Structure 1
Amino acid sequence: MTFWILIFFIAAVVSGFLGFVLLRGRSQGEPAAAYDLRVYREQLACVDRDLARGVIGDEDAERVRTEISRRILAADAQMQGEHSGTGPSRAVTVITLVSVGAFLIAGAMLMYRQMGAVGFPDMPLAERIALATEFHANRPSQTAAEAAAPPAQPSALTEEYQTLLTQLRDAVGQRRDDLQGHILLAQHETNVGNFKAGYEAQTRVIELSGDAASAQNYADLAEMMILAAGGYVSPEAEQALAQALERNPDLGPARYYMGQMLAQTGRPDLAYRLWVDIVRTSPADAPWVQAIRAQLDELAFRAGVFNAPNLSPSAPGPTQADVEAAAEMTPEERQEMIRGMVNNLSDRLATEGGSPQDWARLIAALGVLGEAGRAIAIRDEAETVFADDPEALRLIEEAALRAGIAK
C-alpha cells in the first residue's frame, strides 16, 4: 500500500506543476496595446493644452486629433484581438488539467501493474540469495524436467542411416560391456535427437570406463541430459558437470552449462562473472563462447551490471547482429549457424593452420553434425600435421573418439 501511495503522490505532484504552468499562462500581464492607449490619450490631452495656450492653431490641432484617434482605434482593435486569442477558457483549462492528472496517475499504476511486481514484498539481497539457495536445493529432477519439456522433433534420417542405427542398437543391446559400442550409440542417438537414449548410453560409457572416465565423458553426459530436459540443468546434470570440472576445471562446455545452471536458479550475478571469465579465457571461435555472447547482454541486465566490459572477439567471428539473431533462432536455424561456423573453422585450418585444440574441436564438431566422412579426413590430415607431437596426437585421438571415428 505504501508503494501505491507513493506513486499517487508523485503523479499528483507532476500534475500540480503542469497545472500551475497551464493556469499561469492565462495571465500574461498588461498587453502592449494598453500602454499605447495610455500614451495616445495623454497626447490628446497635450493637444488640448497646446491649443489653449496658443501654441498650435485650430487646423493643426484638428489634424493631430484625427491622427491620434486613428491610432487609438488601431490599438484598441489590437488589444481586443489579444484578449480573444489568449487561449481556452478557465473551465476548459481546469477540465484539461484534471484529465491529464488522471491520465498520469492511472497510466503510472497501469504501467507498474504490467511491468512491475504488484503485491511483491520488499526483498533485501540476503533474502533473495536465501530464496535462490532454497530453489537450487529443491528444484525439479531430471525426470520431472523431461516430462515437462516439449517433445523433441525427430531428425529426418536416410533409410541407410536408419538401418545402420538400428543395427548399432541391436548390437549394443546384445553386448552390454562393449565400451566402443556404447560410445558410438551415445553419439549417434544424440545426433538424431534421441537425447534420453543418448545419455543412457553415455551413462553406461562412464560405468564401463570406471576411474578412467574423462572430464569430457561427464561433460557430454551432462549436455545430453540438458538437451533431453529442454535446456534445463537438473540436479543430476549438475552432478555430472561437477564431476567433469573436478577432472578438468578449465573445460569450457562444462563451465558454460554451470553458468546456465546458476542463471536458472536465481544467481545471475555468479553466472555473469563465470561467463565473462569463460569468454576471456576461451578461444574466440569456441561454440560455447558464441552461445555465451548471444545471452550475455540479457544476463548482465539481470545481474544489475550496467558497465559491462567490452568482450569483442579478437578473432573474426559473428557480428553483434548475428549474435542477437542467434538468440531468436529455432533449433534448426541454430544448427545451420553452427554448421557455418564449423565450415569457417575448417577453411581457416586449411589456409592458415591452427593449434591442436582447433583441429580437435573441428573433428568433434563434425562428429556432432553427423559428418563422419569429413571428420575422418580431418583426423587423418591432423595426424599428418602433428606426427611429431605426441600430446597433439593424444588430443586428436580423444576428439576422434568423441566423434565416433576412432581407429
Structure 2
Amino acid sequence: MTNKMFWIASSTLAGLVTLLLGLALFRHGRVEGSAVSDVQVYRDQLKEVERDLERGVIAEAEAEQIRLEVSRRLLEADRAATEEAAEGAAPRAATMVAAGFVALVLIGGGGLLYSVVGAPGYPDLPLQARIDMAEEMRLTRPDQAAAESQIPPSPPVDVDAEFLDLMEKLRAAVAERPNDIQGHEFLARYEAQLGNFTAARQAQARVVEIKGDGAGAADYARLADLLVLAAGGYVSPEAEAVLRRTLELDPANGTARYYSGLLAVQTGRPDVGFRIFRALLEGSAPDDPWVTPIRAQIEDLAFLAGVNYVPPAATQMRGPTEADIAAAEEMSPAERMQMIEGMVTGLSERLATEGGPPEDWARLIRALGVLGQQDRARAIWEEAQRAFPDEAMQVPILRAARDAGIAQ
C-alpha cells in the first residue's frame, strides 16, 4: 500500500466511524415510547368509527359518544407523548457538541497519535526490501580505521610505575625483534589490559601474520575480539573477515559466533542475530563469557524477529547425561540402533515444530546418515540450508552433509 492509499483508507474509515457515532447521538431519545404508540392507536380508532358509521354498523348517537371518549384518550396520550419526548431527548446543542467532540477525538486524535508513534510519509518496506537495505548497510559501513577514529581516548588504567616501566621495555624489545611471536603475544595481552586496544590488535595481527598457515582459530578469535574492542563494540569489515576465517577453522568457536550475531544485529538483521544468539546460548555453559551479553538482549531480538522466545534457565544442560551414555554402552547393537532411531524421531519432530540451532540440524543429518536414510538426510539438509541462509551458520550443516555422504 502506497503512502497516499494509506491516508485515503485511514481517513475514510475514521470518517465512517465518526458518521455512525454521530447518527447514533442524534437518534438518541427519538425512539417511540408507549405514549406515542397510544396516540396512533386512538387515531386509528377514530377512523374505524367513521367506517362503521358509513356501513351502518352503529348509529349516529353511539358514534358521537365513541368519538368523545376516544378523543379524550387521544388528547391524554398526546400530552404524555410530548412529556416523554421532552424527558428522553437531549438538547440539540449538547448533541452537536458531543458529535463534534467524537469527530475531534477520532480524526484529530488518531492523526496526532500516528504522528507520534507512527511514521508519516514513510514508504512501505517489504521483507525483501528490508533485507536488501540491511545488505547495503553491511557493505557500506565504516572500516576499522574510521571506527577507531571516533572512539575517545580511554581513561588511564591505575597501575604501578614498575608495570609501566616493564611495558616500555617490552615495547622496545618487540620493536627490535619483529618476528618474536611470544613477545607480540605478551604485548597484545598487556596492551589490552591497559586499555590500548588499537595497539593490542596490531600486536595480535602480527602474531597471526608470523604464524601464517599455523595460526589457529583461537589466534583469529583473539584478533577479532581486539578489533571489536578497539572499535568500541563495532564489528568492522576487517573484523568480519577475521570472524569468517575463525569459523572456517572452528565452526563452534563461541567468540566468533557471538560477534557474527552482533554483526547481524548492527547491520539491520535482528532475525539472523537472534538465530545465532539462540543457538549459541542454548549450547553454552552458564559461565561462558558471551552468555551474559546474549541474555541481556536476546528477548528484545526475539521480539524484533517476530518470535515468542523464553531463554532457557541458566542451569539447563544439553545433550545426554552420563547415565544415558553408560546405559547405551551396555546395550546390544539392535537396542542401540533402536535408541538412535527414537532420538532421531524426537529431534526431527522438535525441529519441525519448534526449530533449533544449526548444530541440531547437523546432528539430525549425521544420525540419518548413520541409519542409512540418505534420501531423508538429503531432504533435511536442503531444508536446513533454507532455514539458515547465512554462510557462517551453514558450516556445521555442510560438514554434516559431507559426513553423511550427501554433499553435492
TM-score (norm 2): 0.60
Matches within 5 A, 1:383-394: none
| Equivalent pair of 1:244/1:254 in contact (CA under 8 Å) | yes
| Equivalent pair of 2:274/2:305 in contact (CA under 8 Å) | yes
Matches within 5 A, 1:160-199: 160-199=162-201
Q: 2:10 aligns with which of 7, 10, 34?
A: 7
| Equivalent pair of 1:7/1:109 in contact (CA under 8 Å) | no
| Equivalent pair of 1:195/1:228 in contact (CA under 8 Å) | yes
Task: Summarize the Cα distance change of 1:97–1:287 in structure 2 as closer, same or farther, 3 Å threshold.
Answer: farther
Q: 1:19 aligns with which of 19, 22, 46?
A: 22
Amino acid at match of 1:259: G
Displacement of 1:160 after TM fit? 3.8
What's the secondary structure of 2:306's corresponding residue? coil
CA distance in structure 2 between the aligned counterparts of 1:150 and 1:10, rounded to whole angstroms: 52
Displacement of 1:18 after TM fit? 3.2
Matched, 1:103 2:120: no
Q: 1:116 aligns with which of 115, 118, 130?
A: 118
Q: Which moved more, 1:204-213 or 1:106-115?
A: 106-115
CA distance in structure 2 between the aligned counterparts of 1:254 and 1:163, rounded to whole angstroms: 34
Displacement of 1:247 after TM fit? 1.0
Q: Which moved more, 1:195-204 or 1:166-175?
A: 166-175
In structure 1, the partner of 2:255 is 253
CA distance in structure 2 between the aligned counterparts of 1:175 and 1:121, rounded to whole angstroms: 59
In structure 1, the partner of 2:313 is 313
Task: Summarize the Cα distance change of 1:2–1:172 in structure 2 as closer, same or farther, 3 Å threshold.
Answer: same
CA distance in structure 2 between the aligned counterparts of 1:103 and 1:244, rounded to whole angstroms: 58
CA distance in structure 2 between the aligned counterparts of 1:229 and 1:6, rounded to whole angstroms: 47
CA distance in structure 1 between the aligned counterparts of 2:86 and 2:249, rounded to whole angstroms: 87
Q: 1:281 aligns with which of 272, 280, 283?
A: 283
CA distance in structure 1 between the aligned counterparts of 2:24 and 2:123, rounded to whole angstroms: 37
Task: Summarize the Cα distance change of 1:160–1:21 in structure 2 as closer, same or farther, 3 Å threshold.
Answer: farther
Query: RMSD of the TM alignment (CA)?
Result: 3.2
Cα distance per residue 1:134-192 (max 9 Å; x no partner):
22222211112222344444433343433333333233233322222211211122222
| Equivalent pair of 2:201/2:226 in contact (CA under 8 Å) | yes
CA distance in structure 1 between the aligned counterparts of 2:114 and 2:150, rounded to whole angstroms: 31
Displacement of 1:86 after TM fit? 6.1
What's the secondary structure of 2:290's corresponding residue? helix
In structure 2, the partner of 1:297 is 299
Cα distance per residue 1:264-320 (max 9 Å; x no partner):
222222221111111111112212122111111221222222x32x3222418xxxx
Amino acid at match of 1:104: L
Task: Summarize the Cα distance change of 1:31–1:198 in structure 2 as closer, same or farther, 3 Å threshold.
Answer: farther
CA distance in structure 2 between the aligned counterparts of 1:123 and 1:178, rounded to whole angstroms: 53
Aligned residues: 277
Task: Summarize the Cα distance change of 1:248–1:19 in structure 2 as closer, same or farther, 3 Å threshold.
Answer: same
Task: Summarize the Cα distance change of 1:21–1:289 in structure 2 as closer, same or farther, 3 Å threshold.
Answer: farther
| Equivalent pair of 1:154/1:194 in contact (CA under 8 Å) | no
In structure 1, the partner of 2:354 is none
| Equivalent pair of 1:285/1:315 in contact (CA under 8 Å) | no
CA distance in structure 1 between the aligned counterparts of 2:19 and 2:168, rounded to whole angstroms: 77
Task: Summarize the Cα distance change of 1:104–1:147 in structure 2 as closer, same or farther, 3 Å threshold.
Answer: farther
Matches within 5 A, 1:41-80: none
Gaps of 5+ in 2: 39-75, 317-408
Q: Which moved more, 1:206-215 or 1:166-175?
A: 166-175
CA distance in structure 1 between the aligned counterparts of 2:228 and 2:164, rounded to whole angstroms: 25
Task: Summarize the Cα distance change of 1:217–1:2 in structure 2 as closer, same or farther, 3 Å threshold.
Answer: same
Gaps of 5+ in 1: 36-71, 317-407
Amino acid at match of 2:206: R
In structure 2, the partner of 1:201 is 203
Amino acid at match of 1:4: W
Amino acid at match of 2:19: G
Task: Summarize the Cα distance change of 1:27–1:81 in structure 2 as closer, same or farther, 3 Å threshold.
Answer: closer
Task: Summarize the Cα distance change of 1:96–1:167 in structure 2 as closer, same or farther, 3 Å threshold.
Answer: farther
CA distance in structure 1 between the aligned counterparts of 2:151 and 2:87, rounded to whole angstroms: 70
CA distance in structure 1 between the aligned counterparts of 2:114 and 2:163, rounded to whole angstroms: 55
Displacement of 1:6 after TM fit? 2.0
Identity of aligned residues (%): 43
| Equivalent pair of 1:226/1:233 in contact (CA under 8 Å) | yes
Matches within 5 A, 1:202-217: 202-217=204-219
Q: 2:273 aligns with which of 271, 274, 293?
A: 271
| Equivalent pair of 2:282/2:312 in contact (CA under 8 Å) | no
Amino acid at match of 2:211: S
Displacement of 1:10 after TM fit? 2.5
Displacement of 1:123 after TM fit? 2.8
| Equivalent pair of 2:261/2:273 in contact (CA under 8 Å) | yes
In structure 1, the partner of 2:130 is 128
In structure 1, the partner of 2:322 is none
Task: Summarize the Cα distance change of 1:240–1:97 in structure 2 as closer, same or farther, 3 Å threshold.
Answer: same
What's the secondary structure of 1:201's corresponding residue? helix
TM-score (norm 1): 0.60
In structure 1, the partner of 2:374 is none
